[in-house]
């Protein structure tokens, strides 16, 4: 993406918004890329976020992951994004990801300051506080997408498979164990088997999505109304690919 002078970018954004207000049909796959260009200088505005549908937000993240993998990330002025977001935030998505240092959501989706809520906990497990955070993100702040993001070679999943017992970690890993029981797998069910570990991590994402719907009537209702979408994905540490799940 080419850098454009600040003035040109501002004019471009005004023209784009004017075309939306004017009722022009915008192809779903075009809008997010335009939006991302506009947000490169500043954080998302409420108008930019609110005009996106949940599926457009998902596509926006998918395209961000493509830029990340291609090494063509959006040039960002973080100080400008800090300035424009200081008075208010309008993130388009809330991402429940793993604590793993190799899965920083903003980077692998090429998002900037103010673009996404990111909740991280080992094994991307759903708990009351995460549910409360996601309800804030969607019902109060207006985010359009809830994305449960698991990943390959997850240490928390391995720990759950190995029945690790360690302080407060024991209780956290217990939240992953239903995914072990629910995973059908032909082959060695061991933490040393990478394919098995990834299969359990994928099941953990699927169960996480179901748990969000079951334990949060607020989010379930927003999804039924079409205001939000609740879905999941698996991130591959080796090749950087985010694959949708559920």
Residues of this chain that interact with Zn ion (CB under 5 A) are 98, 100, 154, 156
Q: In degrees, to the nearest 5, what angle opens at C-alpha 69 toward C-alphas 66 and 70?
A: 85
* Residue 61 or 154 having the CB closest to Zn ion: 154
- Least CB distance to Zn ion at residue 161 (A): 12
* Residue 100 or 211 having the CB closest to Zn ion: 100
Give 74's DSSP letter.
P
What is the three-class DSSP state of 127?
A: coil
Cβ proximity of 65 and 241 under 8 Å:
yes
Instruction: Extract the tokens encoding 158.
Output: 């391995």
User: Cα separations (Å) of 140 from 61, 85, 204, 221, 222?
Assistant: 21, 17, 27, 14, 12
- Least CB distance to Zn ion at residue 201 (A): 7
* Residue 48 or 198 having the CB closest to Zn ion: 198
Cβ proximity of 243 and 234 under 8 Å:
yes
Residue 229 pairs in a beta bridge with: 145
- Least CB distance to Zn ion at residue 154 (A): 3
β-strand pairing of 229-235 with 242-245: antiparallel
- Least CB distance to Zn ion at residue 33 (A): 30
What is the three-class DSSP state of 229?
A: strand
- Least CB distance to Zn ion at residue 204 (A): 10
* Residue 41 or 234 having the CB closest to Zn ion: 234
* Residue 98 or 172 having the CB closest to Zn ion: 98
């Amino acid at each position: 993406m080419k850098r454009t002078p600040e003035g040109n970018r501002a004019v471009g954004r005004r023209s784009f918004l004017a075309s939306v207000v004017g009722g022009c049909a915008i192809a779903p796959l075009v809008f997010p890329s335009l939006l991302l260009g506009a947000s490169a200088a500043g954080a998302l505005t409420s108008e930019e976020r609110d005009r996106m549908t949940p599926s457009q937000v998902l596509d926006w993240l998918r395209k961000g992951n493509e830029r990340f993998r291609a090494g063509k990330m959006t040039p960002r002025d973080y100080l400008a994004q800090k300035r424009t977001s200081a008075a208010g935030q309008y993130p388009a998505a809330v991402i429940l990801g793993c604590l793993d240092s190799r899965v920083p959501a903003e980077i692998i989706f090429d998002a900037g300051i103010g673009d996404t809520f990111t909740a991280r906990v080992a094994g991307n497990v759903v708990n009351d506080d995460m549910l409360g955070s996601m309800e804030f993100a969607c019902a109060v702040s207006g985010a359009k997408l809830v994305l449960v993001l698991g990943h390959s070679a997850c240490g928390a999943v391995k720990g759950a498979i190995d029945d690790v017992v360690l302080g407060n970690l024991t209780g956290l890993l217990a939240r992953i164990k239903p995914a072990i029981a629910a995973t059908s797998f032909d082959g060695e069910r061991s933490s040393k088997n990478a394919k098995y570990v990834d299969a359990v991590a994928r099941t953990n994402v699927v169960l996480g999505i179901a748990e969000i719907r079951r334990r949060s009537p607020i989010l379930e209702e927003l999804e039924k109304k079409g205001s939000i979408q609740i879905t999941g994905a698996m991130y591959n540490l080796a090749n950087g690919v985010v694959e949708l799940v559920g």
